[in-house]
A and B are shown apart, each in its own frame.
Chain A
């Protein structure tokens, strides 16, 4: 039962004269946990930006639930959530306000207003921040005053609070200590497990450099020079695969 949620059809991406991604074909099935490997500058972030629709391919088509990305409405697009490599938090807002930004899509204008004025208790935000091991004392702190690992977790909480079907994460373990890495990894991937039995399965694509974390994924994609070099089950991953992409 291979239920494709995201699909790249013959995608190329050019930036000025550089061909950054070259004729990529990729299918992501519902419920899959995929690790995206590749050395620095190989195009992982670019691939993720294509998948969430932030950038448009020079050639080819991105499909979400078998429909072209352009034709989807707001609600459907918001089924994808992204943890950005560069976090993309709003520096002047507090940690809590940033986490609430994840909820803007499903709420009305009044919610955005309340969030900025801080005149309500945001239980859901607190729940997700606690899950990410962010404590009360941090809620009201501005992003620019947080440590690197704290910022990272705020970005993760903002993404998880959307409770989306599809998670795209770009090196989400940056800046985290070993204990936190385990916590966050479980948080990101367990969601996927838990929901596997349900009707709306969750899917995760995680770009990462830490090979010791691969055990928790069931598929591995390796890219090199803007091309997909391998796309295999994790059990089939051999040393030689890794040697070729790094």
Chain B
């Protein structure tokens, strides 16, 4: 048993080996031209620009971000729940629908979520032009599919026996369904709602970097003009927004025994659905398809992409995913384990918060000040950002864990680091790895963002093809992307199953 635990532990550290090729390439690519800029960037963090003018801009931009972020969250969580229900086992059992449809719905959702919101965003912007609602739609499309997976997973663990007992009573099917899914749905909303809100605010910011508006656009513009003090004003205000939204969300009580609150939630639910549908219809009938005149333009466009280049891009994307995943898995336990004291812990937590806060494109652009673009640099960026996220989870789990083993080991005279490793971390390793498997799904999708900025992989190609309206290439790249993501999800699913 002990040996097995040690294995999961060592598996959590092993991926740090990716640092060898990564470091090698990074060192080779170093340049000192922008070191001053980098310094300035760091110093500005403590000295953000604060005056009347910028505060007004911040409020205006934040409003846009909140609007896009909140509405895309609301729509995607409600439709996510609905699709979660119709992609869960229990739905098919109650209504006696053949399993075949279950597979089709699931496959469809898998394809949709395999493409990152930034890709949807760039794609839609290219077709419809820059438009406020494009931001919401771009986030909602993959988010509905992602949320539906989260909901469906929680619905899958409904006790089969309680289904049988309700089924035996022979209640009307919708009543049975509602009664069985009620609590899993509400609990999923409680547990994941806030996290998904944070995600959709982050996605709004990233789409902002690509021009959709809101604080992201300001961040990008201030970076472009090297206005670091302004940049940090935006970043800190974003931090405040994320922290405050967390506090508010935790304050709201989703108490289903309160009549007025229940009625309020239900009306929000139905109004959102109605509004989304009517908007959807409006969108379809009222948009002139500026650049995407007809399907025929798809076939007229030619592809200059050679097979060899294409394969190289795919390979690059896969390597990028692997390297970043390695960093995201191993860096947090390594750093937390080595600097295992209270003061360092605070610094690590702040650093991890910053890594989560600063959008990946900005991290990448900062790193580009002293390193030439390469796969390794993109991987480092993506890895660091995701390490910020995995370390948050690791901290939460370690803090809530029973510490008796750890204390006992320390009192036996075993060194602090070893006791931490064997007494604390070893018990978390398995669930930590399972979470990392899930995380790497997301990393694969996020390779697009760093790809576009850091000119690597398929992301970069996508940008190129889109700006030259080479629709055939675009389609090709999208298919490649979603294939990689789907295969990745399958592999990660297998890994996760063996870990839980």
| Contact call B259/A119, Cβ cutoff below 8 A | yes
Which of B159, B169, B182 lies in contact with A78, CB distance below 8 A?
B169
Q: Which residues of the other chain, B, contact A102 by a CB distance below 8 angstroms?
A: 169
Out of A82, A115, A119, A140, name the residue touching B165 (CB < 8 Å): A82
Which of B91-99, B171-179, B329-337 binds A? Answer: B171-179
| A113–B166 touching, CB < 8 Å | no
Decide: B178 and A74 in contact? CB cutoff 8 A. no
A239 an interface residue at 8 Å Cβ cutoff? no
B165 and A92 within 8 A (CB) = no
In the bound complex, how far is the Cα of B176 from the Cα of A115, in angstroms? 12
Q: Return the CB mask of A48-91 against B: 1 if under 8 Å, else 0.
A: 00001110000000000000000000110110111010101111
Q: A90-B180, A112-B175 are in contact. Are A105 and B170 (CB under 8 A)?
A: yes
A138 at the interface (CB under 8 A from B): no
Q: Contacts A82-B168, A90-B180, A102-B169: A109 and B162 contacting too (C-beta < 8 A)?
A: no
Does A117 touch B at the CB level, under 8 Å?
A: yes
Q: How far is the CA of A26 from the CA of B263 in the complex (A)?
A: 52
Of A75, A86, A93, the residue contacting B182 (CB under 8 A) is A93
A186 within 8 A of B: no
Q: A121 contacts the other chain (Cβ, under 8 Å)? A: no
User: Separation in Å of the A80 CB from the closest CB of chain B?
Assistant: 8
Instruction: Indicate which residue in A52, A92, A117, A119 contacts B168 across the interface (CB closer than 8 Å).
Output: A52
Known A-B contacts A54-B164, A90-B162, A91-B159; the reply to A117 vs B169 at CB < 8 A is no
B172 in contact with A88 (CB, 8 Å): no
B267 within 8 A of A: no
Residues 129-173 of A, flagged 1 when their CB comes within 8 A of B and 0 if not, give 000000000001000000000000000000000100000000000
Annotate A90-107 by CB proximity to B: 1 below 8 A, 0 otherwise.
111100000001101101
Q: Flag whether B256 is at the interface (Cβ < 8 A).
A: yes
Contacts A86-B161, A88-B162, A89-B162 known; A109 to B172 CB distance under 8 Å?
A: yes
Report yes or no: B171 in contact with A116, Cβ–Cβ below 8 A.
no
Task: Tell me, in angstroms, the Cα distance from A175 to B289 when the chains sit together.
Answer: 69
Which among A75, A80, A88, A112 is the interface contact of B164 at CB below 8 angstroms? A88
B66 → A minimal CB distance (Å): 30
B293 lies within 8 A of chain A by Cβ: no
Complex Cα distance, B161 from A74, in Å, reads 19
Asked if B7 is an interface residue, CB under 8 A from chain A, the answer is no
CA distance A75 to B171 in the complex (A): 9
Say which residue of B170, B174, B187, B262 sits within 8 Å of A92 (CB atoms): B187
Q: Is A10 an interface residue (CB 8 A)?
A: no
Q: How far is the CB of A72 from chain B (nearest CB, A)?
A: 9
* A221–B256 CA distance with the chains assembled, in angstroms: 47
User: Which residue from chain B places its CB closest to the CB of A117 in the assembled complex?
Assistant: B262
Complex Cα distance, B175 from A109, in Å, reads 5
Number of interface residues of B (CB under 8 A): 26
A118 at the interface (CB under 8 A from B): yes
Assess the A105–B171 pair: CB atoms within 8 A.
yes
Interface footprint category on A: 35 or more
CB distance from B227 to the nearest CB of A (A): 52
Any B CB within 8 A of the CB of A217: no
Report if B286 contacts A (CB, 8 A): no
Within 8 A of A (CB), among B214-271: 256-257, 259, 262
Interface residue? A108 (CB, 8 A): yes
B344 within 8 A of A: no
| Residues in chain A near residue B174, CB distance under 8 A | 109, 112
Q: Which residues of B contact A230 (CB under 8 A)?
A: none
In the bound complex, CA of A116 to CA of B166 (Å): 15
B86 to chain A, nearest CB (A): 17
Q: How far is the CB of B148 from chain A (nearest CB, A)?
A: 21
- The CA of A90 and the CA of B161, in the complex, are separated in Å by 9
Contacts of A52 in B (CB 8 A): 168
Judge whether A111 is part of the interface by a CB distance below 8 angstroms. Answer: yes
- B183 at the binding interface (Cβ < 8 Å): yes
Q: Which residue of B lies closest to A102 (CB)?
A: B169
Contact partner, A104, options B162, B171, B182, B187, Cβ 8 Å:
B171
With a cutoff of 8 Å between Cβ atoms, the chain A residues found around residue B171 in the complex are 101, 104-105, 112
B179: chain A residues at CB < 8 Å are: 90, 93, 101, 104, 112, 115-116
Q: Shortest CB–CB separation between residue A149 and chain B, in angstroms? A: 19
For the complex, give the distance between the alpha carbons of A113 and B181 in Å: 12
**Do A53 and B168 form a contact, CB below 8 Å, given A90-B183, A92-B187, A107-B175?**
yes
Q: How far is the CA of A108 from the CA of B159 in the complex (A)?
A: 24
Is A105's CB under 8 angstroms from B172's CB?
Answer: yes
**In the complex, chain B residues whose CB is within 8 Å of the CB of A91:** 159, 162
- Alpha-carbon gap, A140 to B256, bound state (A): 12
Q: Please state if B170 and A88 are interface contacts (CB–CB under 8 Å).
A: no
The answer to whether B178 touches A113 (Cβ under 8 A) is yes
CB distance from A185 to the nearest CB of B (A): 22
Interchain CB contact under 8 A, A104 and B172: yes
Q: Which residue of A lies closest to B167 (CB)?
A: A54
The distance in angstroms between the C-alpha atoms of A93 and B162, with both chains bound, is 11
Interface string of B356-397 (1 = CB under 8 A from A): 000000000000000000000000000000000000000000
Chain B interface residues toward A at CB < 8 A: 159, 161-162, 164-172, 174-176, 178-180, 182-184, 187, 256-257, 259, 262
List 27 A–B pairs whose Cβ atoms lie within 8 Å, in order of A's numbering: A54-B164, A54-B167, A54-B168, A74-B170, A84-B161, A86-B161, A88-B161, A88-B162, A89-B165, A90-B180, A90-B183, A92-B183, A93-B182, A104-B166, A104-B169, A104-B176, A105-B169, A105-B170, A105-B172, A109-B172, A109-B178, A112-B179, A113-B178, A115-B179, A117-B259, A118-B257, A119-B259
A interface vs B, CB < 8 Å? 52-54, 74-75, 77-78, 80-82, 84, 86, 88-93, 101-102, 104-105, 107-109, 111-113, 115-119, 140, 162
- A-B contact sample (5 more), CB < 8 A, given A105-B170, A105-B172, A108-B172: A54-B164, A82-B168, A89-B162, A93-B183, A101-B166
